[in-house]
């Protein structure tokens, strides 16, 4: 029994449902309930629920929060509209990526005050908390606004992702019209419908699967109730739970980077192809100078996607070679794509070999398998 691992509020539900529980970033999480491919396909064709409560949820209050976040992440936070959600990177002084995060500008439904939420990777929660505290303590210098310490709400809340083309069928009865009205990358607090005490949830039109969907942050004590009700309401459209393995195959098809694979402190945002997540012009944040310089120079490596010809699956760490056998890169994530029915991979390679159509070789456990560079994403949902 792995008793040292953290449990989300849904842990015993997963165990009872036959979820295969594994250690993920210090949490005991369901990697799959049955077939990974079935959970993947259900997300693409119907709707699935993911327990993503292990991700860190940090709340920033007070007058200094906006400027603090603006000077900490690679996207501008100053000027975000209420309800807006932005994908950003937290970088160190060299421009290396400490984490990829979502920043939300929100309105507290009780007080009307503005506050911010940051959702961080489970594996980076402690690192980011320490980093933020160092920067907060350093402050903005004399005369600058007081910056309150963020509150870590990870253990007081649960986060449930409802993902798939039929997601609205679950979210409408439970969150109502305000949730359906949310445009992509917006969020709002709203009361849950049909639950005792009308608990408030933070609902966002976000997700990590490449499908339409919502993510719900709910009080920890109500998590099982909400999860159960979502499944009940979603039964007619085939709603089922999905685990972290399907979450990985889905995000990989959608070419979404994963920290620890495509993103790390030795990678900067431009190498990762995350130019959209960096606002350099007139915007200070750690590493801005280094990134300004990097933006004007050719990169050593850039992120690419490959499709393979055979059936063997490229995996993290496998070397990528030119057709002549020279080492040119490495795989950071790979799987057999359930949607495309071919092995796919993302990784980094020298820019000279990054053009779509370039033929390369992936060293799969000693055998060189042919692969072709393809445009990302591998999969895009229909409009």
Partner 1 sequence: MTPDKLLYAKTHEWVSVDTAGAKPAGGRVATVGISAFAVEALTDLVYIELPKVGRQVKHGESFGEIESVKAVSDLYSPVDGEIVAVNDALVGHLETLNSDPYGQGWIAKIRLSDETHLKELLDYPAYQKQCAEEGH
Return the range that interacts with partner 1 (CB under 8 A); candidates 32-40, 73-81, 99-107, 130-138: 32-40
Q: Is 336 in the site for partner 1 (CB under 8 A)?
A: yes
CB of 365 to partner 1, least distance (A): 8
Q: Is 239 in the site for partner 1 (CB under 8 A)?
A: no
Site for partner 1 in 258-317 (CB under 8 A): 311-313, 315
Q: Is 138 in the site for partner 1 (CB under 8 A)?
A: no
CB of 131 to partner 1, least distance (A): 32
| Rounded Cα distance, 36 and 23, in Å | 17
Do residues 212 and 168 make contact, with C-beta atoms less than 8 angstroms apart? Answer: yes
Give whichever of 12 and 266 is closer to partner 1, judged by the CB atom.
12
Site for partner 1 in 167-186 (CB under 8 A): none
CB of 337 to partner 1, least distance (A): 9
Q: Is 137 in the site for partner 1 (CB under 8 A)?
A: no
Q: Is 333 in the site for partner 1 (CB under 8 A)?
A: no
Give whichever of 53 and 335 is closer to partner 1, judged by the CB atom.
335
Do residues 89 and 277 make contact, with C-beta atoms less than 8 angstroms apart? Answer: yes
Give whichever of 244 and 272 is closer to partner 1, judged by the CB atom.
244
Cα dihedral 221, 223, 226, 228, rounded to 10, equals -110
Considering only CA atoms, which of 164, 226, 202, 257 is closest in space to residue 85? 202
CB of 336 to partner 1, least distance (A): 4
Q: Which residue from 26, 34, 238, 370 is in contact with partner 1, where contact means CB under 8 A?
A: 34
Q: Is 335 in the site for partner 1 (CB under 8 A)?
A: yes
> CA angle 20-168-277, nearest 5°?
80
Q: Is 32 in the site for partner 1 (CB under 8 A)?
A: yes
Q: Is 339 in the site for partner 1 (CB under 8 A)?
A: no
Token pair belonging to 368: 């060189």
Task: Give the 3-state secondary structure of residue 249.
Answer: helix
CB of 364 to partner 1, least distance (A): 9
- Other beta carbons less than 10 A from residue 309's beta carbon: 13
The residues, ordered by sequence, that sit 6+ positions from 162 with a Cβ below 8 Å of its Cβ are: 47, 48, 49, 170, 171, 213, 214, 215, 216, 230
Q: Which residue from 12, 23, 35, 181 is in contact with partner 1, where contact means CB under 8 A?
A: 35
Give whichever of 330 and 335 is closer to partner 1, judged by the CB atom.
335
Considering only CA atoms, which of 115, 81, 86, 90 is closest in space to residue 102? 86
CB of 18 to partner 1, least distance (A): 12
CB of 208 to partner 1, least distance (A): 18
Give whichever of 221 and 367 is closer to partner 1, judged by the CB atom.
367
Token pair belonging to 315: 């995996």
Q: Which residue from 207, 329, 338, 347 is in contact with partner 1, where contact means CB under 8 A?
A: 338
Compute φ and ψ for 44, nearest 5 degrees.
-75, -30
Give whichever of 31 and 103 is closer to partner 1, judged by the CB atom.
31
The site that binds partner 1 (CB under 8 A) totals a number of residues, namely 18
| Rounded Cα distance, 141 and 339, in Å | 53
| Rounded Cα distance, 170 and 70, in Å | 35
Q: For 10-14, which contacts have Cβ atoms below 8 Å and span 24 or more sequence positions?
A: 10/51, 10/53, 10/158, 10/160, 10/223, 10/224, 10/227, 13/224, 13/227, 13/228, 14/51, 14/241
Q: Is 242 in the site for partner 1 (CB under 8 A)?
A: no
| Rounded Cα distance, 240 and 178, in Å | 24
Q: Is 365 in the site for partner 1 (CB under 8 A)?
A: yes
Give whichever of 101 and 345 is closer to partner 1, judged by the CB atom.
345
Q: Which residue from 37, 107, 129, 200 is in contact with partner 1, where contact means CB under 8 A?
A: 37
Q: Is 36 in the site for partner 1 (CB under 8 A)?
A: yes
Token pair belonging to 217: 């942050």
For every residue of 352-367, DSSP letters joined together read GG-STT-EEEEEETTE
Q: Is 249 in the site for partner 1 (CB under 8 A)?
A: yes
Task: Give the 3-state secondary structure of residue 302.
Answer: strand
Interacting residues toward partner 1 by CB under 8 A: 1, 31-32, 34-37, 245, 249, 311-313, 315, 335-336, 338, 343, 365
């Amino acid at each position: 029994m792995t008793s040292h691992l953290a449990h989300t509020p849904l842990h015993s539900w997963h165990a009872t449902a036959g979820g295969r529980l594994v250690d993920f970033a210090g949490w005991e999480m369901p990697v799959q309930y049955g077939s990974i491919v079935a959970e993947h396909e259900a997300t693409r064709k119907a709707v699935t629920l993911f327990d993503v409560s292990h991700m860190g949820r940090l709340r920033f209050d007070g007058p200094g929060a906006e400027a603090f976040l603006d000077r900490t992440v690679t996207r501008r936070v100053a000027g975000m509209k209420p309800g807006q959600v932005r994908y950003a990177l937290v970088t160190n002084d060299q421009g290396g990526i400490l984490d990829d995060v979502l920043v939300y500008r929100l309105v507290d439904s009780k007080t009307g005050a503005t506050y911010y939420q940051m959702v961080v990777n489970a594996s980076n929660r402690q690192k980011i908390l320490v980093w933020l505290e160092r920067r907060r303590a350093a402050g903005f210098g004399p005369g600058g606004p007081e910056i309150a310490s963020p509150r870590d709400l990870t253990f007081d809340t649960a986060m449930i992702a409802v993902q798939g083309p039929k997601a609205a069928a679950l979210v409408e009865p439970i969150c109502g019209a305000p949730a359906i009205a949310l445009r992509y990358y917006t969020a709002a607090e709203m009361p849950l419908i049909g639950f005792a005490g009308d608990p408030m949830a933070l609902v966002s039109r976000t997700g990590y699967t490449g499908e339409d969907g919502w993510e719900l942050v709910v009080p920890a004590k109500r998590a099982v109730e909400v999860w159960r009700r979502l499944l009940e309401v979603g039964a007619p459209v085939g709603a089922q739970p999905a685990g972290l393995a399907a979450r990985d195959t889905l995000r990989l098809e959608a070419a979404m980077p994963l920290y620890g694979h495509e993103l790390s402190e030795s990678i900067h945002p431009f190498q990762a192809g995350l130019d959209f997540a960096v606002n350099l012009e007139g915007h200070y944040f750690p590493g801005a100078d280094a990134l300004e310089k990097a933006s004007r120079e050719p990169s050593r490596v850039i992120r690419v996607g490959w499709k393979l010809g055979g059936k063997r699956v490229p995996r993290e760490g496998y070397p990528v070679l030119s057709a002549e056998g020279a080492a040119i890169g490495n795989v950071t994530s790979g799987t057999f794509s359930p949607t495309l029915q071919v092995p796919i991979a993302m990784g980094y390679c020298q820019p000279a070999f990054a053009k779509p159509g370039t033929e390369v070789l992936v060293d799969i456990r000693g055998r060189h398998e042919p692969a072709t560079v393809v445009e990302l994403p591998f999969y895009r949902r229909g409009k």
